[in-house]
Structure 1
């Protein structure tokens, strides 16, 4: 079986963490202090990444869904492990809903939801047949494009003269409370806690001893890039930043140089589709590989079509609009009842149990 290189792992992790955050922005509820919220979230997110990668090192050669049976036993570990591919499949439906809402409200206003999601899921399913190696090569192609588009965006914004440093003042106007509210637990789980998805592919890397270092570096880079996006948006919009649903998309609309270079929202679309597409495909592959290993199937590809159909219908039906999708489903259901238990609590418990079994019991024996 072919393996992905260290560079490919870095690229996949980086783009995966940008995901849909690249278009939705980050920490809007913190207002002009959103960039501080992102830096705090990055620090907390690194701790989460350390938990995941430490578990990987303590369970060499095993994927995420194999950690739990290995430490908890088959009767307890397998049912818990099944929660993760189910979570990943549900999360794929959420990403499809993100794409649906963004496209229908910014680009294709009268296009039916099922057409937008249908085209997107067909492309995802097609790439999923190639496996993680194909996605890794796709990530290599997308990565430089993201950096180039980002650089062009920053340069054009500077020449447009729409950024003002006064928009950052006063810093910490409302204290640290709004910042911590954004950073914990939402900021540390999205996008960093979501990276547990990649634990399904760490066994497919050529240099497993470098996984912890590469994942942390990629997380720092993605966190810094999201912070820069927030800084750019705040420098232009000030406190109004918190009122925009798609601040990056709106930000690109402010670029105007000589009445010639303007209306560059297409950059926002390219950002969003490239990162959301790779994140969606990796999420689908992680779910399928999890089911494959837990059920004992020889090939995950037989599950691609039924899983894609399920994700498609979830994306269509889980919410009626963007407000319900984000402010109700995510804040009231996904974050407290799915992400906190599965991305934070269970991995921490697993780490403690693994440490006790490997250190304490080993000393006694």
Structure 2
């Protein structure tokens, strides 16, 4: 493990930025139409329950990361295989998110620039951040957290001032009952973004006051969840259900409609900064988890040497993961949740917690007998 420590506030910032990341980029829960915000709220609640599983695992082994204590729980051979699979999972997730934000930039601003160039520039920046370590990443997060909230507050004020909010778009409530909403929760919002907190099993040991880990992380999850819910509500109220479902990037369409006195307009470029910052931190934390996990699994003295080769893997995977953006979105909606998120975010951690609980009970029992 890297010899580093981060404060409680820094961890809170990283959790919030990570969770919001790409979640505010898309129309989260859009298939539930005007009830999308309810699907996000239920996903938030389920995400908090999932985090309690991750936190309980952390309490059994507070000084080491997930890829290390999984070997203690299941044995070296099986644990090494599981740890390696999680490293692949982190790399794959970083690649998909890099593709998301590359597509965003290519579609909206850099329309004549190849996707590879955009992704290459972003991954080089992230490699530099990874090389500097988790403490530097956390300090940069503190700075950008203030900038993001300043931009968000100004944007919310301008949207209201522009008279774009139409609360009638949020009605009727639960028009088709609970089934469509629960379907979206089970297929999307429980995994994305809230189940992605599994990546913090690689970061919690760096917290300087580990007794506050649960409160800090759950606070960050709740704050980011509220922000996402507000974003979804605003998108529906401004765009309407039909347009929000068809728009690939609803928040940008919402911000693009701001127009005050024929003077304040075209602010979507400003909010691109907000979205790119969120994407940067989400990719960086997945990247860091993959790099540090690889170094621990293969017992390397320094993880920095791995940042460039793994960065190249992430870059080329982001380009080859799908032939086009439509295929990329379809994979993310239909294949990834069931075959990747479900086992890595829910099934494996729950099984590991059960095994760890039994092992620790047996150890305590043997100790008391002796």
* TM-score, structure 2 normalization: 0.96
> Displacement of 1:331 after TM fit?
2.8
The Cα of 1:90 is off from its aligned counterpart by 1.2
Shift of 1:185: 4.0
Cα distance in structure 2, aligned partners of 1:131 and 1:56: 21
Q: Aligned match of 2:92 in 83, 87, 90?
A: 90
Task: State the distance in 2 between where 1:249 and 1:151 align.
Answer: 15
Mapped partners of 2:118, 2:27: distance in 1:
22
1:293 aligns with 2:310: no
Which is worse superposed, 288-297 or 82-91? 82-91
Q: Does 1:363 align with 2:335?
A: no
Say whether 1:283 aligns with 2:309: no
> How much has 1:105 moved relative to structure 2?
1.1
Structure 1 segments, 4+ long, off by >6 Å, are none
**Quick one: which of 331, 334, 355 aligns to 2:333?**
331
Q: 8 Å contact 2:29–2:188 — kept in the other structure?
A: no
CA distance in 2, matches of 1:334, 1:269: 26
* Pairing partner for 1:160 from 159, 162, 174: 162
Q: CA deviation at 1:78?
A: 1.3
Aligned residue for 1:190, secondary structure, equals: coil
3-state SS, counterpart of residue 190 of structure 2: helix
Superposed CA offset, 1:25-52 (max 9, x none): 3111111111111101100110111110
**CA distance, structure 2, for counterparts of residue 73 and residue 185 of structure 1:** 32
Please tell me whether residue 308 in structure 1 is matched to residue 311 in structure 2: yes
Partner of 1:23: 25
List alignment gaps of at least 5 residues for structure 2: none
CA distance in 2, matches of 1:66, 1:137: 26
The partner residue of 1:72 within 51, 57, 74 is 74
In structure 1, C-alpha distance between the alignment counterparts of 2:288 and 2:39, rounded to whole Å: 31
Whole-Å Cα distance in 2 between the matches of residues 29 and 216 of structure 1? Answer: 27
Partner of 1:177: 179
Separation in 2, partners of 1:93, 1:239: 30
Q: Distance in 1 between matches of 2:70 and 2:27?
A: 34
1:226-271 deviation digits (Å, cap 9, x = unpaired): 0000111111122222221100000001111101111110233112
- 1:25 and 1:229 in contact (8 A); partners too: no
Partner of 2:274: 271
What is the RMSD computed on CA atoms of the aligned residues? 1.2
Q: SS of the residue aligned with 1:206?
A: coil
The residue number in structure 2 matching 1:249 is 252
Q: Cα deviations across residues 83-123 of structure 1 (Å, max 9, x unaligned)? A: 11111111111111111211111111111111111111111
Q: Name the CA distance, whole Å, in 2 between partners of 1:228 and 1:173.
A: 20
Give the structure 2 partner of residue 122 of structure 1: 124
1:55 pairs with 2:71:
no
Distance 2:287 2:140 in 1: 15
Residue 196 of structure 1 corresponds to: 198
**Given that residues 28 and 243 in structure 1 are in contact (C-alpha distance below 8 angstroms), is that contact kept between their aligned partners in structure 2?**
no
Contact 2:34–2:173 (CA under 8 A) maintained in structure 1 = yes
For the Cα contact (< 8 Å) 2:27–2:245, is it kept in 1?
no
1:333 offset after TM fit, Å?
A: 2.9
